[in-house]
Amino acid sequence: MRARIAVVLALVGTALVFSSAAQADAVYHSEHLALRALGDAPLRSGFVENIHANGAPVFAHEVYKLNGATPGTTYDVTLLLYVLDPTCSGSAVPVPETTFTTNAAGNAVGTLTFDLATVDAFGIRNATHGVTWEVVGTNGDTYVTDCSAVTLD
């Protein structure tokens, strides 16, 4: 019985050590934003996962997912940044992010990682901004997220 308790305590201790090394951002937590189709663009589901880490190597990691979009179509992802406007009611600065292509079923996943130097180059840290994402296909299909207030520390 003591051996089992010792093993359990060792496993819990190991988990605690490793979990403290990867902490989420204390100011802005990860956010799952649904993509919605504009017009008659086909889409069963889609989202942008905006993940903010708490460190310099990975300041932010984004995941883009389309399910049931037009097959064999290339999509460009653009972040629309509303500087110091968390309601996204003013003018946006378009930030091109990445490109990905759907498979034969119309499914695709894209990712992008920002390091601290890239974010600092924009001079937008220590403030809250509005952000939306736009995913536009070479065929004109367009998907967008709602506005998200993002605080960058």
| DSSP3 helix / strand / coil % (the chain, rounded to 5) | 20, 45, 35
Q: What is the pTM of this model?
A: 0.80
Q: How many CB atoms lie within 10 A of CB 108?
A: 20
Q: Which of 89, 69, 61 is nearest to 146 (CA)?
A: 89
DSSP secondary structure code for residue 87 in this structure: T
* CATH for the 23-152 domain, from 2.40.50, 2.60.40, 3.30.950, 3.30.70: 2.60.40
Q: Which of 15, 69, 60, 63 is nearest to 41 (CA)?
A: 69
Tens digit of each residue's pLDDT (9 = 90 or more) over 43-88: 999 999 999 876 667 888 999 999 999 999 999 999 999 999 999 9
